[in-house]
Structure 1
Amino acid sequence: GGEVMAEPCDVRCDSDVQRLAARVGDKWGDVEILLNVAGVIEVGPFDAMTMDDFQNSLDVNCWGALRMTRALLPGMRKRGWGRIGNVASLGGKRAVPHMLPYAVSKFALVGLSHGLRAELAQEGVLVTTICPSLMRTGSPRNAIFKGQHRKEYAWFCIGDSLPMASMDASLAAQQLLQAVQEGRREVYLRHPMNLGVLAQSYLPGLTDEALALAARVLPAMGGIGRDAARGYQSESAWAPSWLTSLTQAAAERYNQLRPREDLQPPTVS
Structure 2
Amino acid sequence: MRRLETWTALAILGGATALALSRRIGRVRLPGKIAFVTGGSRGLGFLVARELGRRGMRVVICARDEEELERARGGLAAEGIDVTALPCDVTDEDGIQGLVADVEQNLGPIDVLVNNAGIIQVGPVETMKTEDYRRAMDVMFWGALHAAEAVLPGMRERRRGTIVNVTSIGAAVGLPHLAPYDAAKFALRGWSEALAAESIRHGVRVVTVVPGLMRTGSFGHALVKGKRYAEASLFALAASLPLVTSSADRAARRIVRAIENDERFVVVGVPAKALRIAHALFPGTVVRTLGVVNRLLPPAEPGAREAIALPGELFRRGLARSILTALGDRAARRYNEEPEQA
Structure 1 and Structure 2 fold alike (TM over 0.5)? yes
The residue number in structure 2 matching 1:216 is: 295
Tell me if structure 2 keeps the 8 A contact 1:83–1:181. Answer: no
Q: Using the TM superposition, give the Cα deviation of residue 123 of structure 1 relative to its aligned residue in structure 2, in angstroms.
A: 0.5
Deviations 1:20-45 (A, max 9, x none): 21232133211111110000000000
- Comparing 93-102 with 192-201, greater Cα deviation is found at 192-201
Q: Using the TM superposition, give the Cα deviation of residue 154 of structure 1 relative to its aligned residue in structure 2, in angstroms.
A: 1.1
Q: Using the TM superposition, give the Cα deviation of residue 211 of structure 1 relative to its aligned residue in structure 2, in angstroms.
A: 0.5
Give the secondary structure class of the aligned counterpart of 1:158. Answer: helix
The amino acid that maps onto 2:287 is D
Give the secondary structure class of the aligned counterpart of 2:286. Answer: helix
Tell me if structure 2 keeps the 8 A contact 1:97–1:211. Answer: yes
1:11 to 90, 113, 125: 90
2:103 to 24, 27, 38: 24
Identity %: 38
- Comparing 161-170 with 104-113, greater Cα deviation is found at 161-170
Tell me if structure 2 keeps the 8 A contact 1:85–1:128. Answer: yes
Question: Quick one: distance in 2 between partners of 1:239 and 1:224?
Answer: 25
Q: Using the TM superposition, give the Cα deviation of residue 77 of structure 1 relative to its aligned residue in structure 2, in angstroms.
A: 1.1
Give the secondary structure class of the aligned counterpart of 2:273. Answer: helix
The residue number in structure 1 matching 2:267 is: 188
Q: Using the TM superposition, give the Cα deviation of residue 223 of structure 1 relative to its aligned residue in structure 2, in angstroms.
A: 7.7
Question: Quick one: distance in 1 between partners of 2:321 and 2:99?
Answer: 36
Question: Quick one: distance in 1 between partners of 2:336 and 2:302?
Answer: 29
Question: Quick one: distance in 1 between partners of 2:173 and 2:271?
Answer: 16
1:217-236 equivalences in 2 (<5 Å) = 217-222=296-301, 225-226=304-305, 227=307, 228-236=309-317
Q: Using the TM superposition, give the Cα deviation of residue 87 of structure 1 relative to its aligned residue in structure 2, in angstroms.
A: 0.3
The residue number in structure 1 matching 2:230 is: 151
Q: Using the TM superposition, give the Cα deviation of residue 243 of structure 1 relative to its aligned residue in structure 2, in angstroms.
A: 1.1
- How high is the TM-score relative to the length of structure 1? 0.92
Give the secondary structure class of the aligned counterpart of 1:7. Answer: strand
Give the secondary structure class of the aligned counterpart of 2:177. Answer: coil
1:37 to 104, 116, 119: 116
The amino acid that maps onto 1:254 is Y
Q: Using the TM superposition, give the Cα deviation of residue 16 of structure 1 relative to its aligned residue in structure 2, in angstroms.
A: 2.4
Deviations 1:212-265 (A, max 9, x none): 00111100112871322211211211222111111111111122225xxxxxxx
The residue number in structure 2 matching 1:244 is: 325
Question: Quick one: distance in 2 between partners of 1:176 and 1:194?
Answer: 15
1:68-217 equivalences in 2 (<5 Å) = 68-217=147-296
The amino acid that maps onto 1:221 is A
The residue number in structure 1 matching 2:19 is: none
The amino acid that maps onto 1:111 is G
Structure 1 segments of 4 or more deviating over 6 A?
A: none
Q: Using the TM superposition, give the Cα deviation of residue 50 of structure 1 relative to its aligned residue in structure 2, in angstroms.
A: 0.7
Q: Using the TM superposition, give the Cα deviation of residue 137 of structure 1 relative to its aligned residue in structure 2, in angstroms.
A: 1.6
Tell me if structure 2 keeps the 8 A contact 1:32–1:82. Answer: yes
Q: Using the TM superposition, give the Cα deviation of residue 14 of structure 1 relative to its aligned residue in structure 2, in angstroms.
A: 1.4
The residue number in structure 2 matching 1:266 is: none
User: Residues 224 and 157 from structure 1, CA distance in 2 versus in 1: closer, same or farther, beyond 3 angstroms?
Assistant: farther
Q: Does 1:256 align with 2:337?
A: yes
> Number of paired residues?
258
User: Residues 223 and 137 from structure 1, CA distance in 2 versus in 1: closer, same or farther, beyond 3 angstroms?
Assistant: farther
User: Residues 176 and 51 from structure 1, CA distance in 2 versus in 1: closer, same or farther, beyond 3 angstroms?
Assistant: same
Give the secondary structure class of the aligned counterpart of 1:15. Answer: helix
Q: Using the TM superposition, give the Cα deviation of residue 111 of structure 1 relative to its aligned residue in structure 2, in angstroms.
A: 0.6
The amino acid that maps onto 1:39 is G
Question: Quick one: distance in 1 between partners of 2:248 and 2:302?
Answer: 32
Give the secondary structure class of the aligned counterpart of 1:104. Answer: helix
Question: Quick one: distance in 2 between partners of 1:253 and 1:3?
Answer: 20
Unpaired segments ≥5 residues, structure 1 = 259-269
Question: Quick one: distance in 1 between partners of 2:272 and 2:194?
Answer: 26
Unpaired segments ≥5 residues, structure 2 = 1-53, 55-80
- How high is the TM-score relative to the length of structure 2? 0.73
Give the secondary structure class of the aligned counterpart of 1:5. Answer: strand
The amino acid that maps onto 2:130 is M
The amino acid that maps onto 2:304 is G
Q: Using the TM superposition, give the Cα deviation of residue 183 of structure 1 relative to its aligned residue in structure 2, in angstroms.
A: 2.6
Q: Using the TM superposition, give the Cα deviation of residue 155 of structure 1 relative to its aligned residue in structure 2, in angstroms.
A: 1.1
Higher alpha-carbon Rg: 2
User: Alignment RMSD, CA only?
Assistant: 1.4
